[in-house]
A and B are shown apart, each in its own frame.
Chain A
């Protein structure tokens, strides 16, 4: 496949504004998924010109499950958001080529490091330090806060809505889908989320597709916003969930989880750390403020949005891994722990102690 893409790029290089001879760096399925036909792009090739230090172009081989209509809709959505924001949030999709009976997306290559790259240097490796982590974390929360703040002003019309009942319905569906009982996912926890979310009205603002750390560049700019369910998510989710869909995987994934192994406790402790003793409390508080939420008076609403985003993420993973008999049991065990923690931590007195103790983990990193 790559020789055919290479040939296509050589034939069209003048129009694309790149050299005729390019060399590939192939990135494949960075996370093991064990599912073949998942309708998400997972084969990315970065193309380098001779003697260039960064790629000049990216191509993505789309899975056969991704339709042209879904792709066109994502491109239209991106253009609309970019126009509203007044700058390019997404890497520009230059063309969608039909090569060897597969859709290949020809895209602008990343101009900067990703959030994940900056984080890895802050937490692991020879350059790590508390000062660097604090600087990196604050900068990333500020950038995401600025972006999400802008997105939550892009009202797409329709009445503002209270989302408690929708969130509770998703929670009940997830609970039943996993076969969890009340001990694992308590009704009291679901009711807490419903009541807290019903306290505020949220406008109908855009929901982004792939909002995880490795896909975000400083700026921030997003690598991927292609997803077959994007249109549905924009109809059925509040735009405010963007910030929380970013935060939840940010905290449960490497490298942040190397520092704070219990992501639920880390986020809850940050909400409770009103004196900003820890590294993360003040930047998180600032992010929430940028999307109109006050940590001191709306901690319950913020926690409910964290629960809502986590349930959404878990359901997404459940649907994905259900096809893989080798993975699903382990995932459900993880979801069981997370769900119990999400309900348990909400009812526990927490303070900055966990965060202060966890910051010591930085020294133990490779």
Chain B
């Protein structure tokens, strides 16, 4: 509940050069925590494939008197938006869920279609912000359950083995694909995005307090030494802190929990 209204829900938006006239799409907006906050400063379209969420967010926008705000019910694979309309598209914890609407399709193919749609609706020079869990988060190997399927070890296994494990334990295929840093970069590049910056979002992508560039080992080292608090890693997660202290920064970058990708469409 508290996280839903936290001001740092949109902390990542500082990474972009947005003005009052900027047009933003929050794709997979859920109950509108990000979209409604962004709409205080920008023109925003909130999209969700759930008609209930879309109706709720529409009402929320009306209650908050957001002047330049629109809520639509739409799936990421087929956006009802003309080409080259938007300055920014954000997907905060929604991308990994999108294949669940298409259980008979390859999740990676669905993700590629979504990224292709996002690329289409962005203006030249526009940006995508994608916040998602890391498939190779260190905690997963130490027994932390995947937060989507709620199954341990499923995220980092080979996809076929993960699917079998998911069928065995919950009777459903494993569709909630997350990616490694390299895989996500490749997906974005394949969709046409020319320049991708990746970040570590701490403590999580919903309410980040820290945004750490992953392409600078010195900054990662500084962050771990100076800013990372061991008491945030209680119980079994205390090993994660200790291993982060042990690993070289370039390895930490591959095994953080939450990624934020800033991808730019060529101008």
Contact = CB atoms under 8 A, between A and B. Distances in A.
A18 B6 CA distance: 34
A43 interface: yes
A33 B17 CA distance: 25
A92 B219 CA distance: 22
Interface residues of B, number: 40
Interface stretch (A46-54, A69-77, A144-152, A160-168): A46-54
Contacts of B17: 1, 3-4
A187 to B, nearest CB: 35
Nearest to B18: A1
A20 to B, nearest CB: 16
A27 B209 contact: yes
Contacts of A52: 218
A24 B223 CA distance: 12
Interface in B215-230: 216, 218-219, 221-223, 225-227, 229-230
Interface string A1-42: 111100000000000000000011111111011111000000
A236 interface: no
Given A32-B2, A53-B222, A27 B15 contact: no
Nearest to B207: A32
Interface residues of A, number: 41
Contact of A55 (B1, B222, B225, B238): B222
A326 B238 CA distance: 30
Contacts of B1: 326
Contacts of A254: 229, 231
Interface string B243-255: 0010000000000
Scoring B8, B223, B241 by chain A CB atoms within 10 A of each residue's CB, the highest score goes to: B8
Nearest to B223: A25
Contact of A25 (B222, B234, B235): B222
A308 to B, nearest CB: 29
Nearest to B211: A26
A259 to B, nearest CB: 11
B231 A124 contact: yes
B230 A366 contact: yes
A354 B208 CA distance: 37
A124 B230 contact: yes
A25 B210 contact: yes
Given A54-B222, A366-B241, A27 B210 contact: yes
B238 A26 contact: no
A124 B229 contact: yes
B245 A126 contact: yes
Contacts of B84: none
B93 to A, nearest CB: 18
Interface in B171-191: none
A25 B219 contact: yes
B5 interface: yes
Given A120-B229, A126-B245, A30 B209 contact: yes
Given A4-B17, A27-B227, A365-B231, A53 B7 contact: no
Given A30-B209, A54-B222, A113-B226, A366 B8 contact: no
Nearest to B242: A126
Given A25-B211, A26-B211, A255-B231, A3 B16 contact: yes
A117 interface: yes
A258 B210 contact: no
Contacts of A83: none
Contacts, number: 106
A159 interface: no
A34 B222 CA distance: 28
A349 B213 CA distance: 53
Nearest to B1: A326
B234 A327 contact: no
Interface string A164-207: 00000000000000000000000000000000000000000000
B11 A125 contact: no
Interface of B is mostly: helix
Nearest to B199: A26
Scoring B18, B229, B234 by chain A CB atoms within 10 A of each residue's CB, the highest score goes to: B229
A264 B224 CA distance: 32
B211 to A, nearest CB: 4
Interface string A104-135: 00000000011001001000111000000000
Contacts of A125: 230, 241-242, 245
Contacts of A255: 229, 231
Contacts of B2: 32, 34, 326-327
A337 to B, nearest CB: 20
A25 B226 CA distance: 12
B6 A34 contact: yes
B221 to A, nearest CB: 7
A28 B230 contact: no
Contacts of A126: 242, 245
Contact of B213 (A23, A30, A36): A23
B225 A34 contact: no
B212 interface: yes
Contacts of B208: 28
A54 B219 CA distance: 8
A34 B14 CA distance: 18
A26 B218 contact: no
Closest 9 CB pairs of A and B: A366-B238, A124-B230, A26-B211, A125-B230, A3-B17, A28-B11, A1-B14, A2-B14, A29-B8
7 contacts: A1-B14, A1-B18, A26-B11, A26-B14, A45-B14, A51-B218, A117-B225
Given A26-B15, A34-B7, A254-B229, 10 more contacts: A3-B17, A24-B213, A26-B211, A33-B7, A53-B218, A54-B222, A117-B225, A120-B229, A126-B245, A366-B233
